[in-house]
Structure formats: C-alpha cells, structure tokens
C-alpha cells in the first residue's frame, strides 16, 4: 500500500523572501491528495506579504491537499485566519477548492 506523498519546505530567516516560490515549486510537484509540510520554525519575522503569498499559492491549487505549518507565532496564526486559512492547534488544515477554501483537519 502506498503512503501519502509528502513534500516539506523549510524556510530559514534568510530564505523567507524566496519562500513563496519554493512553496509554489513544491505544490507543483505534489500529487493529488498529497501533504505539504511548511516548516517556519527557523524563519525570523515573516513579513505579512510573504504569508499572503503563501496562502495565495495554496489557494491556486485545483485539488484537495493537506497542509501542516510548523513554527507559527500567535500573530502569524491570526494573520492566516484573516487571510482565510484557519489552522487547528497542530497547525493543520485541508485545502479543498471544491468547498471554497480551508477547513481544519480535525
């Protein structure tokens, strides 16, 4: 039995500007039903525009996808919720364009 395909994108403080492009590349290579893990643990002060671009890239995906974002600060959670990506306490959501956005996985 095959497992779910998973792609992990790690964003360090000096790479946060490139994060949306790297995320886009990871999403393009992720098959339908896959899981994306975005690790922001080492990212220093992500700019709001970077988080907005990340959400935009996630929403551009045309099929369901499981997302887990690690290392978010409380401010980042609030901003993502404002942008329409509501994560559960573990940082997980399911992006499903058929239902118009994200829902928590739990």
In this predicted model, what pLDDT tens digit does every residue of 55-92 receive, in sequence order? 887 777 777 778 888 888 888 888 888 888 888 888 88
User: Is 1 a member of any domain?
Assistant: no
Domain that holds residue 63: 6-103
At residue 44, what are phi and psi to the nearest 5 degrees?
-95, 120
User: Is 54 a member of any domain?
Assistant: yes
CA 100/CA 95 separation, integer angstroms: 8
User: What is the reported pTM?
Assistant: 0.74
| pLDDT grade for 38, boundaries at 50, 70 and 90 | confident
CB 19 within 8 A of CB 9: yes
CB atoms within 10 A of CB 75: 12
The tally of domains found in the chain comes to 1
CA distances (Å), 72 to each of 1, 3, 105, in order? Answer: 33, 27, 17
């Amino acid at each position: 039995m095959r497992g779910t395909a998973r792609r992990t994108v790690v964003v360090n403080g000096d790479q946060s500007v490139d994060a949306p492009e790297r995320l886009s590349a990871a999403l393009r290579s992720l098959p339908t039903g896959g899981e994306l893990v975005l690790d922001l643990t080492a990212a220093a002060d992500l700019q709001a525009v970077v988080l907005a671009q990340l959400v935009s890239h996630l929403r551009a995906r045309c099929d369901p996808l499981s997302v887990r974002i690690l290392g978010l600060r409380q401010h980042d959670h609030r901003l993502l919720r404002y942008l329409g990506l509501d994560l559960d306490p573990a940082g997980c959501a399911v992006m499903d364009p058929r239902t118009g956005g994200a829902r928590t996985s739990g």
